[in-house]
Chains A and B, each alone.
Chain A
Amino acid sequence: MFKKQTIVIQDIIKLGLLAGLISLSMSVIGFIALLGERELIQNVISMGHVFLLAPPIALAYISAEKVLSQSKVKATLFGLLLGIITALPLVILVILASSFDIRQFLVNVSPELIELLTFGQGIFLGSVILLLVSGVAGLLAAGLRTLPDDFREPIITGLAWVFLFGLFSEILLGRLRSIFGRGLTKLIFSGKALNPLFTVFLFIVVAALRYWSKRRRLQAEERGESISPERQQRYQRIRIVLGVVTLLLMPLILGTYLSEVMNNVGLYILMGLGLNIVVGFAGLLDLGYVAFFAIGAYIMGILTSEGQLGLGFTFWTALPFTVIGSTLFGIILGIPVLRMRGDYLAIVTLGFGEIIRILALSDMLKPFIGGAQGVLQIPKPSIFGFDLVKPEYLYYIILIGVLLAWFISWRLRDSRLGRQWMAMREDEDVAEAMGINLVNTKLLAFATGAAFSGLSGGIFASKLTSIFPHSFNLIVSINVLSLIIVGGIGSLPGVVVGALILVGLPELLREFAEHRMLMYGALLIVMMLARPEGFWPSETIKRELHAHEELEMGSD
């Protein structure tokens, strides 16, 4: 639909109805009404209205892009039309709800929803207002698209910040209160909603900063100034120092709850970095990756547990065994699947993952690893007799693990081994003809991946103090694979971004209860449509996508 170069009025009607259907669906499942109770800006707009109007705004903005070249006025008017059409299905819903008792079919069409849709102004006047508001929203979105980049980008950045502040207000509120005290927090938030004055202030500051920084960069470019290598190096160093300081102070800023979230994200980053080597670098699709996480966790659990099963190791003495043990299992799994490729490999590794989980659950091994009861009383790590009980302390152990894995991945990527992986991923036969030993190359990929995952598992066991077989099911493997795809396959920063989005974001959206996964799913779909290469793609992938564009241009 968006591929077409020009858009005619029929397309606008179609897009409008599409947006209307999305808004309608969100309304009848109760999502909009739930969000309606939550104000984004105090006494101005609720989250419900934001989400209700998001589809026409998004589609009007996108469609205006296509009409822009014809005429700016036309683009803007199309936006208005699109917005009005969007509201039609909603108006029909309002009229139906007032004439019939449709709640027996659609239980979520509550009086609250109708009030939200009609702005509390009754059926007739409310419907008119709804049409107008939706139309104006479309008009503004399309109008925004017609503005020159200099103004458009700052406005969008400002709006995005306001939205994010409002969306995560509960979390922000808690942190601001404990860092700056109640007085300042009251200036920013009224309840969970943003203070209107602060909203304006935030928008202007963010937009102005964006405008100013862009202008400065442009002016520097115009003057033909290029930043000297020394200065670039100095900037780079400043950035690294700032990054390190932020990472070190993170638990203080985040507090206990968010630190715990960050720890989960960190464990997934560790796993992601490992799987990134197996899938991203070496091109071996492994769906049983959770097995190594489980093995790491069980080795740590059994070695350190203070219960019946335990062998009395400390966290630190057990850690090397955890990593070595899971590496060995990586090689053991690697050997039988050496000759497998692609889909077959995926299925076999999937089976391996299940075998490990079922073995952990089995009665046969129960005397050694606890069966369904799992391993209990695993101590937390301690340093010099000081137990690292709080998430804020554990954070540092995970941080060290992640940095280590990152460093190893980064060095390996540009090494001879990294090139072997790359060649193998591209074409196994040709790689072999180049003199690459596929057996060693594959086993090294599995072993390195397993080592990172085992380390993650070991820390996980110690963090939770008890482990159960059901923590190690298929969904963990799928999550890790998803996060490297979302981040950008083969890319190290991509793993971090992917983990933050897939593991961190659902935690932050807890407030939205059962609709959390809906938002998360919608976000994933939109993201894969908009950025199929991932949020932070590696150079090779970027080049590949770019190469296709070149080809398309060439064939015109």
Chain B
Amino acid sequence: MAILEVNNIHAYYGNIQALRGISVTVEEGEIVTLIGANGAGKTTTLRAISRLVNPREGSIQFDGEDLSQFKAHELVYKGVAMVPEGRGIFAKLTVGENLDMGAFSRDDSANIQEDLERVFDLFPRLKERRSQVAGTLSGGEQQMLATGRALMANPRLLLMDEPSMGLAPVLVESVFETIQRINKEGTTILLVEQNAMMAFQVANRGYVLQTGEIVLSDSVENLRQNEMVQKAYLGVE
């Protein structure tokens, strides 16, 4: 059974329609990517799933439960965590305090400690900088922190909004390696990206969004072969 089923959602910002019937399915254990240009509705889709935007039509089901009955802050208790766009770390708090906030929804302190070790294992840099103020980290480290903080909630589904944004190519590589590793350790990932080339390297399946609609959905192997995708997103002439 699919862990996440987004069914024909329509969302609006005021009178402007941002999503025109988006349907996305994510199976347990997969990495699924949403690609598309600016304004295609990728982020809005993520915001709708995480209940920051309320779709007017359509339904979103997580693990068989209708998400519309929950508030945004309740989702993390259900097992959905988000790495927000532009990283959204608590800049004035230390790295350690940021990670603590990630586990805010939990009260099983023994397991929290275990997950902290796991995050430090994944990102040794964060362990080194544990008591440093998060605002002083480099862009790549901030991305690590935002990801690590989301993992502290021990989610079943991780929503990632453009993790490669504003990072140097070398760092982008390592970000995607980490994404793969997190997935291998058992977390399902829905990844929003503009960098289609990188996203296709890690994902199982992909959806291509254009002006609030899904124009293509397939396995990444097939998407890579698609002429339109090659032209528009992979830069192949």
Contact = CB atoms under 8 A, between A and B. Distances in A.
Task: Report whether chain A binds chain B.
Answer: yes
Interface in A527-556: 540, 543-544, 546-547, 550-551, 554
A423 B90 contact: yes
Interface string B122-145: 000000000001011000000000
B105 A435 contact: yes
Interface string A263-300: 00000000000000000000000000000000000000
B135 A547 contact: yes
Interface residues of B, number: 30
A429 B102 contact: no
Contacts of A431: 73
Interface in B83-106: 84, 88-94, 100-102, 104-105
Nearest to B83: A433
Given A423-B101, A543-B92, A543-B133, 16 more contacts: A423-B104, A429-B88, A433-B50, A433-B73, A433-B88, A434-B149, A435-B73, A435-B74, A435-B105, A435-B153, A437-B71, A437-B73, A438-B73, A547-B92, A551-B136, A554-B136
Contacts of B91: 426
Nearest to A546: B133
16 contacts: A422-B93, A423-B104, A426-B91, A429-B52, A430-B90, A433-B50, A433-B81, A434-B101, A435-B104, A437-B73, A438-B73, A540-B92, A543-B94, A547-B135, A547-B136, A551-B136
Contact of B76 (A427, A434, A540): A434
B190 interface: no
A544 B76 contact: no
A436 interface: yes
- Secondary structure type dominating chain A contacts: helix
A432 interface: yes
- Secondary structure type dominating chain B contacts: mixed
Interface in A347-369: none
Nearest to B82: A433
B3 interface: no
Contacts, number: 74
B77 interface: yes
A419 interface: yes
Contacts of A426: 90-93
B105 A544 contact: no
Q: Which 8 A-B pairs have the closest CB atoms?
A: A435-B105, A435-B76, A547-B133, A426-B90, A430-B88, A432-B72, A433-B82, A434-B104
Interface string A114-153: 0000000000000000000000000000000000000000
Nearest to B133: A547
B135 A544 contact: yes
Interface string A397-426: 000000000000000000000011011001
B90 A432 contact: no
A186 to B, nearest CB: 55
A551 B138 CA distance: 10
A434 B105 CA distance: 7
B138 to A, nearest CB: 10
Interface of A: 419-420, 422-423, 426-427, 429-438, 540, 543-544, 546-547, 550-551, 554
Interface in B150-200: 150, 153
Interface of B: 50, 52, 71-77, 81-82, 84, 88-94, 100-102, 104-105, 133, 135-136, 149-150, 153
Nearest to B85: A429
Nearest to A543: B133
B72 to A, nearest CB: 5
Contact of A550 (B73, B76, B136): B136
Contact of A419 (B50, B71, B101): B101
A551 B91 CA distance: 13
A438 B71 CA distance: 10
Given A423-B104, A434-B102, A544-B92, A429 B136 contact: no
Nearest to A441: B73
Contact of A436 (B92, B100, B104): B104
B133 A436 contact: no
A433 B72 contact: yes
Nearest to A426: B90
B88 A434 contact: no
Contacts of A427: 88, 90
Contacts of B105: 434-435
Contacts of A551: 136
B86 to A, nearest CB: 10
A436 B153 CA distance: 12
A430 B84 contact: yes
A436 B90 contact: no
A448 B157 CA distance: 36
A540 B91 CA distance: 10
Contacts of A423: 90, 101, 104
Nearest to B74: A435
A432 B73 contact: yes
Contacts of A420: 104
Nearest to B78: A435
A423 B76 CA distance: 15
A544 B90 contact: no
Contacts of B150: 433
Contact of A435 (B77, B93, B100, B133): B77
A431 B101 CA distance: 8
A435 B73 CA distance: 4
